[in-house]
């Protein structure tokens, strides 16, 4: 059950953030076997004063089109699976939405299964 947060600078295209989210969800399904209907996302747009990033950290030249993606998911995926996910997301965003590869910033937050409640105050994944 990933929870995806995508943050971008305010965009004139009202469908832009949702298109980013679709690519991320499709990438998670392809790279780390996220099932159908397991799609939970928070898509946020920010003005210049509330969207701060370094344009050259680690020698990567970022533009104002940078996309921050944070995915909270169950722990247990291998480093190779994570690398495939990063690559699949970046290439998908580039191909489908025109995001520069350098502008795809991804952070995974891994949690234990018992740290989820999908509703009704119940920890559905807790044993």
Domain boundaries, the chain: 3-115
The answer to whether 77 and 32 are in contact (CB under 8 A) is yes
The CATH number fitting domain 3-115, selected from 3.40.50.800, 3.40.50.300, 3.40.190.10, 3.30.429.10: 3.30.429.10
Look up 2 and say whether it is catalytic: yes
Tens digits of residue pLDDT in 96-122:
999 999 999 999 999 998 999 889 999
121, with CB counted inside 10 A (0-12, 13-18, 19+), is exposed
| pTM (two decimals) | 0.95
Active-site choice (1, 2, 112, 120): 2
The answer to whether 113 and 126 are in contact (CB under 8 A) is yes
The answer to whether 99 and 50 are in contact (CB under 8 A) is no
Tens digits of residue pLDDT in 47-89:
999 999 999 999 999 999 999 999 999 999 999 999 999 999 9
The answer to whether 21 and 4 are in contact (CB under 8 A) is yes
Which residues on adjacent β-strands are paired with residue 73?
A: 110
């Amino acid at each position: 059950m990933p929870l995806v947060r995508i943050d971008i600078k305010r965009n004139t295209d009202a469908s832009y953030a949702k298109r980013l989210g679709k690519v991320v969800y499709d990438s998670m399904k392809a790279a780390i076997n996220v099932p159908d209907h397991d799609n939970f996302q928070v898509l946020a747009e920010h003005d210049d004063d509330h969207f701060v990033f370094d344009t050259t950290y680690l020698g990567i030249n970022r533009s104002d089109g940078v996309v921050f993606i944070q995915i909270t998911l169950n722990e247990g995926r291998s480093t190779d699976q994570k690398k495939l996910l990063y690559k699949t997301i970046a290439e998908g965003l580039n191909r489908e939405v025109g995001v520069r590869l350098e502008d795809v910033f991804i952070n995974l937050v891994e949690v234990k299964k018992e740290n989820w409640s999908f509703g009704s105050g119940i920890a559905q994944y807790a044993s």
